[in-house]
Structure 1
């Protein structure tokens, strides 16, 4: 054997056992779920699906309805943008104690709070917020902010914990305050990663904002629920197309911004 070649990695039985457990879990999932694949591909099911899809054509293209859909899309976009902004503000505030900067006890307590925030789905948050704030975009915006703050707070905290401590320690040694050392040494290291997390969550919140309208949070989702409940399929098709275009637009803008950050 050539001595210059790198040695093969040692056998890690922990990884193999974990992979085996995951495989067993997947097999158990298929075995326990009543998946009726044959009924899904029957001629009757296919015909019913095609009949439903045919009802969506042609989409409604009247100017009054297109104008209404446009403003609903703007409302959905505003909900996602404001909800993400609030989540970033609270996520940054939560990430400081969650990263262990104030000790082990505040770290454990704040991470417990973040776990609760992000473990509750947006739809559940929306149901709670709509009771407090009433129907409309305010409840949906607060629901997005609550869930996303839990996600971003955890991601931001992990980024701060993984940052190299030497630059901040050097500034502290030379007489800088703890706040100044954090803003000039640690935060610049993690800011690009935090921005990437924020943009990704904004993409997700666009989709979530469209869904939250189903429970009365406004925007395209509320329009979609209304027209589907009345079986107005062409109008619902226009709303669905607006959702797709809005998601594609935000995905493109977010991708361009992430590319700009990595240059």
Structure 2
């Protein structure tokens, strides 16, 4: 169209990065022994159908449903409390990580955040379960440690990218730096931080269900127990509870994110 500005030219480094990513994907396909044809053999279909038929019908006895409900509440509690602890730690670490206290604290805290989020939840859970024993407490701490690293980095980036004019204006007009930060920069980034928090809560629901596999309680521990005993119908009920819980939290998170925009 007439009057439209020309598209910006791509830098050579951009094309180099794209080419490197494409080469990495192609090398991954070439180096891994992927046998897609095995999925479509008659033996594979027969074995899969026989395995899945063992899950039907799900166990619907009242005592087992009550036990599953208790595990569902435990998984939900682990994810909620772990996320809450991570938000508190993430906010505390985000301030120095955003450079509010100088360059040296920024580098040190960002290195700490890298360590926290680089260690997977399962590894954190294994360490926490050794220290705290089996049960949901270790799983909650594992979620909190990993998520604190993720949220701390996201919160710090949001604070660094916030427009500084509003805070500088308040300080120029006589406001103290700390109140100016909370009334200007923090208020400006709060919706973004809430969106990050809700998204991580969704992820922690799934992670909490997986952490039970290493003994952290909840639905994951039930699933591992019944699968190890080949009690497929009981496992099917636990899997359905996981799906319903994830769908519930996803719906709640979507509704809350719309409210905070």
**TM-score, structure 2 normalization:** 0.98
Query: Unpaired segments of 5 or more residues in structure 2?
Result: none
Equivalent residue runs for 1:1-263 within 5 Å = 2=2, 4-262=3-261
Q: Residue 18 of structure 1: CA displacement?
A: 1.3
Q: Secondary structure at the match of 1:59?
A: coil
Separation in 2, partners of 1:241, 1:132: 32
Runs of 4+ displaced beyond 3 Å: none
Q: Which digits, 9 at most, give the CA deviation of each residue in 1:192-211, with x for residues without a partner? A: 00000000000000000000
Q: Residue 9 of structure 1: CA displacement?
A: 2.0
Separation in 1, partners of 2:10, 2:260: 39
Q: Secondary structure at the match of 1:19?
A: helix
| Larger deviation, residues 245-254 vs 29-38 | 29-38
Separation in 2, partners of 1:226, 1:56: 15
Separation in 1, partners of 2:220, 2:30: 35
Separation in 2, partners of 1:148, 1:178: 29
Q: Secondary structure at the match of 2:99?
A: coil
Computed over aligned residues only, the root mean square deviation of the Cα atoms, in angstroms, reads 1.0
Separation in 2, partners of 1:185, 1:11: 36
1:209 to 1:11, Cα distance in 2 relative to 1, 3 A: closer
Q: Secondary structure at the match of 2:157?
A: helix
Count of residues in Structure 1 that have an aligned counterpart in Structure 2:
261
Q: Secondary structure at the match of 2:221?
A: helix
Separation in 2, partners of 1:175, 1:127: 51
Separation in 2, partners of 1:124, 1:199: 23
Separation in 1, partners of 2:134, 2:16: 50
Separation in 1, partners of 2:64, 2:185: 50
Query: Unpaired segments of 5 or more residues in structure 1?
Result: none
Q: Which digits, 9 at most, give the CA deviation of each residue in 1:112-166, with x for residues without a partner? A: 0000000000000000000000000000000000000000000000000000111
Separation in 2, partners of 1:109, 1:157: 13
Q: Residue 8 of structure 1: CA displacement?
A: 2.9
Q: Residue 11 of structure 1: CA displacement?
A: 4.0
Q: Residue 41 of structure 1: CA displacement?
A: 2.1
Separation in 2, partners of 1:84, 1:11: 40
Q: Which digits, 9 at most, give the CA deviation of each residue in 1:153-186, with x for residues without a partner? A: 0000000000011111111112211111111111
